[in-house]
């Protein structure tokens, strides 16, 4: 099938071309994001392959259908930017990549956590300037501390396994608890109130839904254990940025590690070094010495990119053959 791949970086192209080495599908790559002003780039294709920040609202879906697009093959887990009801109305199938390399994201969460609690990002800059003093770099052990994991899908469970390896006590919350995994990995499910109150570190691993948007608000942050650390490698809008800035200003949080940001579209994945940052909230967030932000790179490992590419093309091949779509998403859930 002919597939238009949007929001393409060089690593996307390399991974997809490697997965399509036999030439099963025809790939057309576009650097532009899929949105109302770029729909024309989907002319003559049957499948579009958007990424996390592409916007497929009802008008975009209608214009895709007019051009003969029959499938949206997402190359990410999240699908909140796709109007699924509009897709259903136009007979457009939607698939996603629900899990590519849970270890990649879970390991990045711990990379952020270790950097924040041991001040690695500060030490790196200081040593580069030939300042070898240790003042202001005192951290704390993870061993013996409590990690609260919100969301125990594959990534959350991978994070729990890593935490147990560090000798951490793990509390978890999920709307669908996995008792078997809890017993196997040695963690405990509990209510959110207890998790907030007892966790030295809270790590988010849940999807963005209307119910979870701004889950981490001022009230949540106020209920956290004083001096705790927050890590978010999931979805930016889970966290109310203004409330987070307030918690950092007050000293309520010891630190924060973010790989996602609620207004990241047009910022993350881009080089803005010659233009400057127009987002005042993000600019303020970056001024805190105990805040570490990376630009949505949790998925960025060779293994994860290869897995994403294979799953995307497998989804398209299954659609082409008329087979059941294992990774299909719909308005019905």
Whether residue 325 lies inside any domain: the answer is: no
Residue 171 and residue 37 share a domain: no
What is the phi/psi pair of residue 110, to 5°? -75, -30
Number of domains within the chain: 2
Residue 37 and residue 68 share a domain: yes
Residue 17 bears catalytic tag? no
pLDDT tens digits in sequence order for the chain, 333 residues long: 999 999 999 999 999 999 999 999 999 999 999 999 999 999 999 999 999 889 999 999 999 999 999 999 999 988 888 999 999 999 999 999 987 789 999 999 999 999 999 999 999 999 999 999 999 999 999 999 999 999 999 999 999 999 999 999 999 999 999 999 999 999 999 999 999 999 999 999 998 889 999 999 999 999 999 999 999 999 999 999 999 999 999 999 999 999 999 999 888 988 888 888 889 999 999 999 999 999 999 999 999 999 999 999 999 999 999 999 999 998 865
CATH number, domain with residue 280: 3.40.50.720
Residue 264 bears catalytic tag? yes
Whether residue 95 lies inside any domain: the answer is: yes
Residue 194 and residue 110 share a domain: yes
Cα diameter, the chain: 64
Residue 241 and residue 164 share a domain: yes
Domain holding 42, by residue range, is 2-100+301-320
Residue 30 and residue 67 share a domain: yes
What pLDDT sits at residue 304? 93
Residue 114 and residue 206 share a domain: yes
Residue 311 and residue 216 share a domain: no
What pLDDT sits at residue 53? 85
Whether residue 127 lies inside any domain: the answer is: yes
Helix axes 154-165, 102-117, angle to 10 degrees: 50
Residue 250 and residue 161 share a domain: yes
Residue 170 and residue 247 share a domain: yes
What pLDDT sits at residue 269? 87
Given the residues 25, 119, 196, 264, select the one marked as catalytic: 264
Give this prediction's pTM.
0.89
Given the residues 96, 121, 235, 327, select the one marked as catalytic: 235
Residue 236 and residue 128 share a domain: yes
Given the residues 154, 205, 296, 327, select the one marked as catalytic: 296
Whether residue 328 lies inside any domain: the answer is: no
Residue 85: CB partners within 8 Å, gap ≥ 6?
58, 331
C-alpha distances (whole Å) from 71 to each of 31, 55, 91, 308 are 20, 15, 9, 17
What pLDDT sits at residue 333? 59
Whether residue 327 lies inside any domain: the answer is: no
Whether residue 314 lies inside any domain: the answer is: yes
Whether residue 277 lies inside any domain: the answer is: yes
Whether residue 269 lies inside any domain: the answer is: yes
Residue 259 and residue 121 share a domain: yes
Residue 73 and residue 62 share a domain: yes
Residue 70 bears catalytic tag? no
């Amino acid at each position: 099938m002919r597939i238009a791949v949007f929001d393409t970086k060089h690593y996307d192209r390399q991974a997809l071309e490697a997965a399509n080495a036999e030439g099963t599908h025809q790939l057309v790559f576009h650097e532009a994001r899929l949105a109302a002003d770029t729909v024309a780039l989907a002319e003559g294709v049957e499948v579009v392959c958007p990424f996390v920040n592409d916007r497929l609202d009802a008008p975009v879906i209608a214009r895709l259908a007019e051009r003969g697009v029959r499938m949206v093959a997402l190359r990410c887990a999240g699908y909140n930017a796709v109007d699924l009801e509009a897709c259903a109305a136009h007979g457009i199938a939607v698939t996603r990549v629900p899990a590519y390399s849970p270890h990649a994201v879970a390991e990045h969460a711990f990379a952020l956590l270790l950097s924040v609690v041991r001040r690695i990002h500060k030490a790196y800059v200081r040593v580069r300037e030939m300042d070898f003093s240790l003042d202001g770099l005192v951290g704390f052990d993870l061993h013996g501390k409590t990690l609260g994991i919100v969301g125990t899908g594959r990534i959350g469970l991978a994070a729990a396994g890593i935490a147990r390896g560090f000798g951490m006590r793990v509390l978890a919350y999920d709307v669908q608890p996995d008792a078997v995994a809890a017993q196997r990995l040695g963690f405990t499910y509990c209510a959110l109130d207890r998790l907030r109150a007892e966790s030295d570190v809270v790590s988010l691993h849940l999807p963005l839904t209307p119910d979870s948007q701004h889950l981490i608000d001022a009230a949540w942050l106020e209920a956290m254990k004083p001096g705790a650390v927050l890590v978010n490698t999931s979805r930016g809008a889970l966290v109310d940025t203004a409330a987070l800035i307030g918690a950092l200003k007050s000293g309520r949080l010891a630190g924060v590690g973010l790989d996602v940001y609620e207004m990241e579209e047009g910022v993350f994945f881009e080089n803005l070094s010659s233009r400057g940052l127009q987002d005042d909230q993000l600019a303020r967030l970056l001024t805190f010495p105990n805040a570490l932000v990376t630009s949505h790179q949790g998925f960025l490992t060779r293994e994860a990119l290869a897995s994403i590419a294979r799953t995307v093309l497998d989804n398209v091949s299954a659609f082409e053959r008329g087979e059941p779509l294992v990774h299909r998403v719909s308005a019905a859930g």
